[in-house]
Structure formats: structure tokens, C-alpha cells
Amino acid sequence: GLSGRLGDVLEKLRGKGSLSQDDVNEAMREVRVALLEADVALPVVKDFIAKVKTRAVGQEVIQSVTPGQMVIKIVHDALVEMLAGQVGTPDEGEADRDRTAEILNLNVTPPVPILMVGLQGSGKTTTSAKIALRLKTTQRKKVLMASLDVQRPAAQHQLAVLGEQTGVDTLPIIMGQKPVQIAKRAMDEGRKGGYDVVILDTAGRLAIDEELMVEVAEVRKVTNPAETLLVTDAMIGQDAVTVATEFNDRVGITGIVLTRVDGDARGGAALSMRAITGRPIKLMGVGEKMDALEDFQAERIAGRILGMGDVVSLVEKAARTIEMDEAEKIARRMEKGKFDLEDMLSQLKQVRRMGDIKGLLGLMPGVAKMKKQIEAANIDDSLIKRQEAIILSMTPRERRHPEIIKASRKKRIAAGSGTAVPEVNKLLKQHQQMGQMMKQMKKMGGMKGMAERMG
Ligand code: GDP
Ligand code: MG
């Protein structure tokens, strides 16, 4: 059948070492300890490990790396992927770009309500002011903040002080009002005053209680916030599970803010909360100062949770070395204006091996155009595997002289690779386009010439 044939093809591609069940089991014991030490909740650890095990078995081990190290790298990548979720991470080279508008949903009729919830002392009030300041400076939003904390008289005052510090308006305090009343007044004031955003800072309790949940749920109902952010301290540890579950089930949250990331907690709570609620971690607090608010960085938190940064960077370095070797080989052929289907195959192999399409294409000059196409077409691993299978179903002569591939050969190749003729055509066309780019580069004096011209 199809999968069998593809399976055989992949076996050939895979080279010598692929991860065995034993390799993976052994390394996973270490991973399990690391995750538990980082305070990730046990059910989350179990679930995560089971998923990654399935993914890791059979993956190729790159040169100069042990199977155990390879597993750690796969775990790390899975951790990053899971933590990043929909919010994702900025593309390479745009780390400084302001992503506030992507991270926070502000696409409702103003004033946009943002509700801050969480336990007492988690950092809600501080984070409210930090977000307000950021919306004001990077998005030029007119922001109003309101404290619904009637538990502690000092709480409303605390927000007023932060408002003054950041130059953000706060709702005038009227003693004796209930949280829901204050919330309604804040929204009224937001409309009358022409505010873009109204941040509602709620009270917390030291532990979850019925009154708190009812109160917060009611505030959410009357204000219908665009964002309901659960603020939690990175040091929360095992309580993360209860807190995240309760707030998500009873109130409903749209995202999580992790505070005190500047402390030395390993941050396993982030993984627990993300896994349990399915909600993205959007922002992180990295200090007491008003500008100490950053976009959530999955890489950074994953590194801390796993605590095996050395291994991860070692594997990454090894992968880059191979990538460079292979890229150089292809580059030398390109300089001679040569780029046959064998070259394309080794490029595809490499792309898949790295598990990152963008990575390799980004390295190769002139391929940036294709990179865009690939991103637009949302090409995945399975497509690359099919493309590899197509080339592998060609005879060596066909690979060196694609021009001889006519209708009947195409049919044979499609059948042999478990694909269809249009897909074969598409690949040949892509190869042709790449070849044209290579020729153009040759005219410009190859890569060296181009580099000299540019530099
Ligand atoms: P709330 O009870 O949830 O409103 O918590 P607060 O906003 O009043 O914060 C409680 C304490 O934590 C304050 O002293 C804040 O300065 C501090 N805090 C909040 N966020 C951070 C953070 O990201 N890093 C550090 N180091 N301290 C924080
Ligand atoms: Mg507070």
C-alpha cells in the first residue's frame, strides 16, 4: 500500500541511526525528573512525555550527537511548540517588533474591556498598570484603569498611584460600591470619556473561594471583556492546576500572564496552565518596574523548565554545522550553474532533517522567493516527504536530465511515489524555477560575486 511504499522510501532516506524505543525511553526518564523538579503537574508531565515519545521514536539522529541528546532536543522543541501555541514567537530578526496588537485582542468596539483575574498577590494590579502603559506608548491608546478591589482599602489607592506614575487615568474612587457597580461605572466613564481601553483590576483571595469566583464571573458577564487575563506568579508551583482550572471553568479566561519570571522559579506552572486550559500565555512580568513586561517567550521558559540548555545548544550547533556543509556543497554546484534533481533531493532531505523548512531556505540566497511560496502554501513535513518520494522514484538519469521526463515517465514516477501526475509536474516546475534562479546567480558572478556586490 501507499504507506508501506512511503515507509520504505523514508527508511532509505533516514541514514543509519534513528531513535529506537529504548533510546527514547531512557532519555525520557531524565526528562520526567526535570519536568517534575520544575513543578510541572504530574498528569501534564505524563501526557507530554507520552506525546513526545511517539514523535521521537524513529527520528534520525544527526551526526556527532548521541541518541539521548537527540531526544532532549526533540523534547525541547516540543516544549517550545506547546508553550508558544497560537501566540507564537516573532520571526527571526524581528525580536524588537512590537507585537502588542497580535497578543492582545483589541478588535471590539471601544472602550475595549480587559479584565484581570487571579489570586491575591499574583501581580494583577502591577500588570494592569504595565499593560496600560504599554498600550499608551506603543499603541497610542487612551486607557482608563479601574480597581474593583473592595477587599482592601489600600488596593484602589495602589492603582491610583500607579496611574499617576504611568500617566494613565484611573476611575475616581467611590467608597461603598460593589465590584459590579464599579465595573459598570468604569465602562460608562470609558464611553463618555472617549477611552479606547478600560482595564478592570479585580480583587483576589489568598486561595480560591466561592465568593471570589461568583464575583469575578459576574463582572465578566456585565462587561463582556475582549480579554480576560489570568495573572499568576511563576512560583505558584503545583497550585497552578487548581487555579487555572477554576478560573477557566468558572470565569472563562482568554489568556495567561506569568509574573515574577525575574525570580528563580523554573516555571513549570506555565506548562501546566497552558496544557490544562489550552489558553495561550501572552505576556510575562520580569520585575516590579512599570516597563518590566515582555511578550511571552516560549524558548526562554522551555529552556528553564527543562534545564538542559547545554544539550539543546550542542545539538543545535551540530545541526547547523551539517546544514552549512550541505549548503556549501550545493552552493558550489550552483556557482557552476548546476542544479539537478539530485541537488534538489539533498536540499529537501536537509530541510526535513532540520525539521524546519524556513531554516534552510533562509540560508540560501535566491531561495527567499520560494520560502514565501512555501509559507503561503503552508507546506508541511508530509509534502516534503512526498516530494522526496517523487525524486526517489526517478531513475538516476532522469534526475540528472529532467528534460527527458515526459508523460509516460511521469505516470510511472507518480505511481512509484504514491502521488499523482500534477504533483510530479509541480515538483518539476519548482525545480525549473530554482534552476533559473541559479543561472541568474551565475551570471552575477556566483554567490561570491553577489556578496561582493552587496557588501
Ligand atoms: P495583586 O494582589 O494581584 O494585585 O498583586 P500586585 O500587583 O499588588 O503585586 C504584588 C507584588 O508583586 C508587588 O510588590 C509587585 O511589585 C510584585 N510584582 C508584580 N509583578 C512582578 C514581577 O513580574 N516581578 C517581580 N519581581 N515582582 C512583581
Ligand atoms: Mg491588586
Largest CA distance in the chain: 86
Domain 311-446 class?
Answer: mainly alpha
- Ligand closest to 288 (CA) is 1
Q: Cα(121) to centroid of ligand 1, in Å?
A: 6
Chain-centre distance of CA 27, in angstroms?
Answer: 24
User: Please, are residues 180 and 146 in contact by the beta-carbon 8 Å criterion?
Assistant: no
User: Please, are residues 183 and 223 in contact by the beta-carbon 8 Å criterion?
Assistant: yes
pLDDT beyond 70 at 363:
no
User: Please, are residues 287 and 261 in contact by the beta-carbon 8 Å criterion?
Assistant: no
Whole-number Å distance between alpha carbons of 117 and 23? 43
Higher model confidence: residue 381 or residue 345?
Answer: 345
Q: Cα(164) to centroid of ligand 1, in Å?
A: 17
pLDDT for 15? 41
The residues with which 144 forms a beta bridge, in sequence order, are 169, 198
pLDDT for 145? 98
pLDDT for 320? 79
CA distances from 230 to 106, 123, 131, 276, 280 (A): 17, 10, 13, 13, 10
Domain 2-87 class?
Answer: mainly alpha
The model's pTM is 0.72
Directed axis angle between helix 341-354 and helix 421-443, to 10°? 100
Q: Cα(289) to centroid of ligand 1, in Å?
A: 9
Return the ligand 1 atom nearest residue 285 CA.
Answer: 23
| Residue 201 assigned as binding residue | yes
pLDDT for 436? 81
List the single range of 330-339, 355-364, 439-448 with lowest mean pLDDT.
355-364
pLDDT for 404? 94
Asked if the domains 2-87 and 311-446 are classified in one and the same CATH topology, the answer is: no
Higher model confidence: residue 161 or residue 322?
Answer: 161
Q: Whose CA is nearest to atom 25 of ligand 1?
A: 287
Q: Whose CA is nearest to atom 19 of ligand 1?
A: 123
| Residue 278 assigned as binding residue | no
- Mean pLDDT computed over 405-415: 95
Which H/E stretch holds residue 112? strand 112-117
Whole-number Å distance between alpha carbons of 273 and 278? 8
pLDDT beyond 90 at 64:
no
Q: What percent of the chain has pLDDT over 70?
A: 83
Q: What percent of the chain has pLDDT over 90?
A: 58
- Ligand closest to 120 (CA) is 1
pLDDT for 346? 81
Q: Domain ranges for the chain, please list them.
A: 2-87, 100-306, 311-446
Mean pLDDT across the chain, nearest whole number?
A: 85
pLDDT beyond 60 at 340:
yes
pLDDT for 409? 95
pLDDT-based confidence at residue 237 (cuts at 50, 70, 90): confident
List the single range of 42-56, 261-275, 310-324 with lowest mean pLDDT.
310-324
pLDDT beyond 50 at 11:
no
| Residue 204 assigned as binding residue | yes
The residues with which 200 forms a beta bridge, in sequence order, are 115, 146
Query: For residue range 254-283, what is the model confidence (pLDDT) as tens digits?
Result: 999 999 999 989 999 999 999 999 999 999
Please check whether the domain covering 100-306 is classified as CATH 3.20.20.100. no
List the single range of 91-105, 155-169, 210-224 with lowest mean pLDDT.
91-105
pLDDT for 313? 82
Residues with CB under 6 A from ligand 1: 118, 120-126, 204, 231, 259-260, 262, 285-288, 292
Task: Record the cell numbers describing residue 135, joined without a space.
Answer: 498600550
User: Please, are residues 314 and 23 in contact by the beta-carbon 8 Å criterion?
Assistant: no
Q: Cα(12) to centroid of ligand 2, in Å?
A: 60
- Mean pLDDT computed over 199-226: 92
pLDDT for 271? 95
Counting ligand 1 atoms within 8 A of each CB, the residue from 126, 230, 258 with the most, and so the one to mutate, is 126
pLDDT beyond 80 at 4:
no
pLDDT beyond 70 at 101:
yes
Q: Whose CA is nearest to atom 16 of ligand 1?
A: 288
pLDDT for 98? 85
Query: For residue range 21-48, what is the model confidence (pLDDT) as tens digits?
Result: 998 999 999 999 999 999 999 999 999 9
pLDDT for 365? 46
What is the rounded radius of gyration, in angstroms, for the C-alpha atoms of the chain?
27
pLDDT-based confidence at residue 95 (cuts at 50, 70, 90): low
pLDDT for 352? 65
| Residue 29 assigned as binding residue | no
Coil, helix or strand at residue 174? coil
pLDDT beyond 70 at 250:
yes
Q: Cα(114) to centroid of ligand 1, in Å?
A: 18
pLDDT for 182? 97
- Mean pLDDT computed over 415-421: 93
pLDDT for 282? 96
